[in-house]
């Protein structure tokens, strides 16, 4: 498995797993990884389609049918193995303490961040519009290790209020530390500035919340 790594200037900083959208570790995800490095993180974005797609695979935002075979090839076990490998790289190669490692994921990666937080001792996790958490992964709510911040789009036809309310209810019932943010005028993929659904206002506010969330929970100084 290949991965994109971006490091901050002047040290290693805290660690961040950057988990891709369904379109691969593409230009946007590489930019996101670098942007987090610019804010002090050692960030790693593993190529989660490596079992079915060539290295460096980038899907088109206008051709989801080409993505479907790679999505179908994913399994929770395979995803966890890949995310754990990236986590172990941060621990062993970058020498970052576990209390300084968090995850952020987008769309498919938002689901992966939730999954990772249930299986790895993350200090915190951030999930952007993670589809399929409800109903498929509600049983993992009680297993969340670190506090989790979750973003949703009020105009998102892929992940509607029935899903994100179910996620919030499951986390509340499990007494897990979580924050739920719904941007009423944002659609699915609102953070991606290379998609028509990009919403600058929601994206900028979300990033500010992410950074403060990670500061509050001791990941970012």
CATH value at residue 129: 3.40.50.1820
The answer to whether the CB of 115 falls within 8 A of the CB of 127 is no
Residue 221 resides in a domain: no
Residue 37's domain comprises 3-216
Torsion of CA 127, 128, 132, 135, to 10 degrees: 60
Please tell me the pTM assigned to this model.
0.97
Q: What is the mean pLDDT of the chain?
A: 97
Total domains present in the chain: 1
The answer to whether the CB of 128 falls within 8 A of the CB of 183 is no
Per-residue pLDDT averaged across 137-145, rounded? Answer: 98
- Residue 218 backbone phi and psi in degrees, to 5: 80, 10
CA–CA separation, 149 and 130 (whole Å): 11
The answer to whether the CB of 25 falls within 8 A of the CB of 59 is no
Residue 77 resides in a domain: yes
pLDDT confidence band for 218 (50 / 70 / 90) = very high
**Per-residue pLDDT at 149:** 99
Find the angle CA(117)-CA(172)-CA(133) to the nearest 5 degrees. 50
Residues 52-85: pLDDT tens digits? 999 999 999 999 999 999 999 999 999 999 999 9
Residue 127 resides in a domain: yes
195's tokens: 């998609």
Residue 99 resides in a domain: yes
Residue among 28, 31, 3, 27 nearest 17 (CA): 3
159's tokens: 């992940």
Q: Is the dihedral of CA 119, 103, 157, 50 positive or negative?
A: negative
Residue 41 resides in a domain: yes
DSSP 38: H
CA–CA separation, 102 and 107 (whole Å): 17
The helix, strand and coil proportions of the chain, stated in percent and rounded to the nearest 5, come to: 40, 20, 40
The answer to whether the CB of 55 falls within 8 A of the CB of 70 is no
Q: Which residue has the tokens 């002047």?
A: 10
Per-residue pLDDT averaged across 104-109, rounded? Answer: 98
Residue among 166, 158, 122, 121 nearest 141 (CA): 166
Find the angle CA(196)-CA(163)-CA(72) to the nearest 5 degrees. 70
Residue 126 resides in a domain: yes
151's tokens: 């973003």
Residue 121 resides in a domain: yes
Residues 149-205: pLDDT tens digits? 999 999 999 999 999 999 999 999 999 999 999 999 999 999 999 999 999 999 999
Residue 210 resides in a domain: yes
């Amino acid at each position: 498995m290949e991965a994109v790594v971006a490091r901050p200037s002047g040290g290693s900083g805290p660690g961040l797993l950057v988990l891709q959208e369904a379109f691969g570790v593409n230009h946007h995800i590489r930019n996101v990884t670098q942007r987090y490095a610019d804010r002090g993180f050692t960030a790693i974005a593993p190529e989660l389609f490596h079992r079915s797609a060539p290295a460096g695979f980038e899907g088109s935002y206008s051709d989801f049918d080409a993505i479907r075979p790679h999505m179908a090839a994913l399994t929770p076990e395979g995803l966890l193995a890949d995310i754990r490998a990236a986590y172990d790289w941060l621990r062993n190669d970058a020498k970052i303490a576990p209390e300084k490692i968090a995850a952020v994921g987008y769309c498919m990666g938002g689901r992966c961040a939730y999954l990772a937080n249930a299986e790895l001792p993350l200090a915190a996790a951030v999930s952007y519009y993670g589809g399929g958490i409800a109903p498929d992964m509600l049983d993992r709510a009680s297993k969340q290790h670190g506090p989790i911040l979750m973003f949703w789009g009020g105009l998102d036809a892929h992940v509607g209020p029935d899903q994100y309310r179910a996620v919030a209810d499951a986390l509340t019932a499990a007494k897990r530390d979580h924050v739920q943010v719904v941007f009423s005028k944002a659609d699915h993929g609102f953070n991606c500035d290379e998609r028509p659904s990009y919403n600058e206002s929601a994206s900028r506010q979300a990033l500010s919340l992410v950074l403060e969330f990670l500061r509050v929970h001791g990941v970012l100084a």
